[in-house]
Amino acid sequence: MKVGFVYDPIYLKHDTRQHVENAARLEAIISHLEQTQLIRQLTPIKPRAASVEELSLVHHKQHISYIQEVAQKGGGWLDPDTVMSTDSYQAALYAAGGLIETSKAVMRGEVASAFALVRPPGHHATATRAMGFCLFNNVAIAAKYALTKYNLERIAIIDFDVHHGNGTQGSFYDNPQVLYTSTHEFPFYPGTGNLDEIGKGEAKGTTVNIPLPAGCGDAEYLAVFEAIIVPVVRRFRPQLILVSAGYDTHWADGLAMMQVSVTGFAQMVKIIKELADELCSGRLVFTLEGGYNPTALAASVKATFDVLLGNTNIEDPLGKSPRGLAAPSIAPLIKAIKEIHNLL
């Protein structure tokens, strides 16, 4: 079983200086994959720049032109969270294009599954706005490309970043061809993703938000996957599964207040992989979103690859959270979401 990956040094040229979303994130991942020699088990996929036409599947052309112009002027802050450099536009083109090429490799059967190790991330970017460290919405662009290119009828996007993917949700809120499901800390940036946001029109019910309270760990996330995500995805019967993989729910990550471990991520990925094997001939594509503790991020990405490769020995160098915080009860939340989405 071949597992692919996309990486290119162009992603390091999105120079954000001391910003928490910086080049050291990818450097830590690649270094760890090389040091553990896991990278030898992976099949490289060559990225390319997305075209303006491909970006326009999601973004207004005025937004695309604006990002290009800011880069040409030397970069700068787009909002209090999001910064660009001279090379950020090109890096963002390669991030979106890299995920398109990753999806193509999976759809063509060249690899069974794959992970796009790209930056800048994407799931906050809307049709008209860069925000939350994101310039273009990589996963939304790849989903719309796959729907068109391969005449697919149904794609599922699973987002386990600690922040709600407001841009991805907005891209498909009225599109019944795409199931978007998100686990995220709530209320938290960007303030969207409440459980009553379920899609509209013919797409009502194809947005499934799971707004979790701070302090949730492996047990809570696995309960959500088993009670909500698995039955929702099974009912939808996707032909391709895309994953916005954010590892900022790890307990060592300073940007949030969750308690997931590397082992917990591996368990979630295993569930997603089993769904892909069951429903869509294993067609499964991951793209990197958040994760800001280099050690936790690198170990979690490696664990993801291990699961995709079928390796059973998952290394968790950080273990469980040492804070010993009592996890919140999410049983009422799960019950409410199951009622909204008719999962009882």
pLDDT, tens only, 242-273:
999 999 999 999 999 999 999 999 999 999 99
Query: What percent of the chain clears pLDDT 90, i.e. is strictly above it?
Result: 97
Nearest CA among 38, 42, 58 for reference residue 50: 58
Report the predicted TM-score, pTM, of the whole model to 2 decimal places: 0.98
Whether 75 and 34 have beta carbons less than 8 Å apart is answered as: no
The answer to whether the beta carbons of residues 218 and 300 sit under 8 Å apart is no
> CA torsion angle for 138, 274, 5, 171 (degrees, to 10)?
0
Tell me the C-alpha distance between 309 and 140, whole Å.
26
- By the 8 A CB rule, do 145 and 54 touch? yes
Q: Which two tokens stand for residue 241?
A: 């599964």
Report the distance separating Cα 166 and Cα 244, nearest Å: 12
Of 128, 136, 123, 130, the closest CA to residue 55 belongs to 136
Contact (Cβ atoms closer than 8 angstroms) between residue 156 and residue 236: yes
Question: Which residues fall within 8 angstroms of residue 338, CB to CB, at 6 or more apart?
Answer: 227, 228, 344
Mean pLDDT of 332-339: 98
pLDDT surpasses 80 at 204: yes
β-strand partners of 217: 259
User: Residue 327: pLDDT band by 50, 70, 90 thresholds?
Assistant: confident
Residues 6+ apart with CB under 8 A from 41: 3, 305, 309
Q: What percent of the chain has pLDDT over 70?
A: 100
Q: What is the pLDDT of residue 1?
A: 82
Q: What's the pLDDT band for 325 if we cut at 50, 70, 90? A: confident
User: What pLDDT does 91 receive?
Assistant: 98
Task: Report the catalytic residues.
Answer: 124
Fill in the DSSP letter of residue 185: E
233-246: average pLDDT? 98
Structure tokens at 101: 């090429």
- CA–CA distance, 164 with 104 (Å, rounded to integer): 26
* pLDDT tens digit sequence for 145-172: 999 999 999 999 999 999 999 999 999 9
* pLDDT over threshold 90, residue 323: no
**Residue 102 structure tokens:** 């990753």
Per-residue pLDDT, 7 = 98
Beta-strand pair 76-77/83-84: antiparallel
Strand segments (E) across the chain: 3-6, 43-45, 76-77, 83-84, 113-116, 155-159, 178-185, 207-212, 240-245, 284-288
Q: How confident is the model at residue 100 (pLDDT cuts 50, 70, 90)?
A: very high
Rounded Cα distance between 231 and 245, Å, is 20
Domains present along the chain, CATH in parentheses? 3-340 (3.40.800.20)
Residue 344: its pLDDT value, please? Answer: 81
